A = this chain, B = another copy of it.
């Protein structure tokens, strides 16, 4: 089905493998040099694919790769955003093949092969589709848009230095649409098209009790154990109906009217049993009064992403630890504001901390929720592009994940974003054995070209 030749397919996969072999783990400071190497490699690829110029911009964190191709002042401009950094591969022992040694394997879901590697889908594989779609358009002399690439290295750690870059390069980044492939679709037969993203507030709390680890026999029973207190506090954050108990948390949540909710439910054909089976669960769980699809899209959440305290090694140790910590994140929906939510969380946590311990609350990062407006040419061009490639109208759908910089683009650059993602739920992004369908990779390259065709028309 792909418009690529067999030679092109092989070449593009080999090039992607080079990209995937570079361990660009932004969260781990030991990979700083590897991040720089990856940025330079990508910048060079942009030139090879046809950019007039490309540059690796230093930041206070990991560098940003920029490249551009000017064709004609009368053409619209597309700004492609993506990220070359990846999540840490832990737990690394659960990978079937090493995370930075890409390999193609056939699976039930991908009988024609899937690329297994950290970043295969999120987001190196999807970024690389844009580079190759752009290369194709030049090769076929069909490039009817000016193009700018901005590929950052800190998406997985909160894009901390991107705002400054946007503010300092506003005119350089001027565009008519921002195009991003960092999301997924339902399947290749009846694809969904992401029209909304949840926001995120990522927090960390640390409880401190006694001034040192204590023997649980000599001291147990007479003081607050930081782990028990942390458990109490976490447990109190969600009530029996699945509602988050932080005062004011739901104040600005946009309630969707019943008829709209029903039509989305009808159109999506979301299968609850498929969902449970895909992750090996007997039962789903969430906010009362909402379907699984709604819990994943139009409703905010709170999840503990990590917890630790005391002795966690082999065997047993009879200790009452001095400290216990947890990483807790909340997914937000329109019109919640992540900074406001982080503040509400912080104040609430401090308020419910008993006097028997002390508390530190840290905000890691966050971002606001986003919606692509229906009356925007980018929206329409995307719908047409999907139809060209897949032969069917895509189903517009709100996505549960967050790309915190999307609403930031709008506020700083004044530019709307179109989210054209080609991953599947089964891609195991952020998990061991992350993978990306070979077919998804190639159909992405086609669909992006079709988007240019309609948007530049």
* A181 adjacent to chain B (CB < 8 Å): no
Which residues of B have CB within 8 Å of A91?
213
How distant is the Cα of A329 from the Cα of B306 in the complex, in angstroms? 22
* Size class of the A contact interface (CB-based, 8 Å): 35 or more
What residues of chain B lie closer than 8 Å to A349, measured between beta carbons? none
CB proximity of A70 to chain B, nearest CB, Å: 35
Are the CB atoms of A400 and B231 closer together than 8 Å? no
Known: A219-B400, A221-B287. A212 touches B27 (CB 8 A): no
A314 proximal to B (CB < 8 A): yes
The answer to whether B232 touches A235, judged by C-beta atoms less than 8 angstroms apart, is yes
Interface-located stretch among A4-12, A126-134, A278-286: A278-286
Looking at the complex, which of A73-81, A297-305, A374-382 is the stretch in contact with chain B? Answer: A297-305
A314 to B329, alpha carbons, bound, how many Å? 15
Interface flags, A153-168, vs B, CB<8A=1, else 0: 0001110000000000
List 23 interface pairs A-B (beta carbons < 8 Å), by A numbering: A27-B315, A90-B313, A156-B317, A157-B316, A202-B318, A210-B280, A211-B280, A212-B280, A216-B303, A216-B329, A216-B331, A219-B400, A220-B303, A222-B296, A223-B285, A227-B303, A227-B326, A228-B304, A281-B356, A283-B356, A305-B318, A306-B321, A316-B365
- Mark the stretch among A112-120, A256-264, A423-431, A447-455 that contacts chain B: A423-431
Number of copies: 2
Interface residues of A in 317-351 (CB under 8 A from B): 317-321, 324-327, 329, 331
Q: Are B304 and A227 in contact (CB under 8 A)?
A: yes
- When A and B form their complex, which 4 residue pairs have the shortest distance between CB atoms, in order from nearest? A211-B280, A217-B401, A306-B310, A221-B301
